[in-house]
Amino acid sequence: MLLRRERHQVTEMETVADAVGRMKRERYDLVIADLRMEPLDGLDLLVLNRARGSPAPVLIMTAYGTDETRSQAKELGAADLIDKSLQAPLFLQKIRAIVPEPA
């Protein structure tokens, strides 16, 4: 809802498989993924997104972030790994640093 209020077009998907299938057909400016999903997780989505050559940056969100997880996400090419408890203004600041303002 926050991103929609900021005039971003948002598409939600339930699983990594759904997201990868959709990303094969459509172009996205940013992918936001939860770290913990089943059966594949946000890091799997990041790897699959990169393997298909998508230029879309991937932002991983988690309530379970560690220095190791952050390092792993960065090594795999994540734009960032952020904590789910991040306040709205800081979340939007992170988004703006990755994606330009919508028209």
> What confidence score (pLDDT) does residue 101 get?
67
- The number of angstroms, rounded, from the C-alpha of 49 to the middle of its chain's C-alpha atoms is 10
Task: Give yes or no for a cis peptide into 100 (omega within 30° of 0).
Answer: no
- Residue spans per domain, the chain: 2-98
> What confidence score (pLDDT) does residue 73 get?
92
Tokens for 68, please give them.
């190791």
Q: Which fold has domain 2-98?
A: Rossmann fold (3.40.50)
> What confidence score (pLDDT) does residue 103 get?
55
Where helices occur in the chain by DSSP H, the ranges are 2-5, 16-25, 42-51, 67-75, 88-98
The half-sphere exposure of 36 on its side-chain side, counting CA atoms within 13 A, is 7
| Ordered per-residue pLDDT tens for the chain, 103 residues | 899 998 889 999 999 999 988 988 898 999 999 998 889 899 999 999 888 888 889 999 998 878 898 899 999 999 999 998 889 999 999 998 998 765 5
Distance from C-alpha of 93 to C-alpha of 74, rounded to nearest angstrom: 19
Distance from C-alpha of 29 to C-alpha of 15, rounded to nearest angstrom: 19
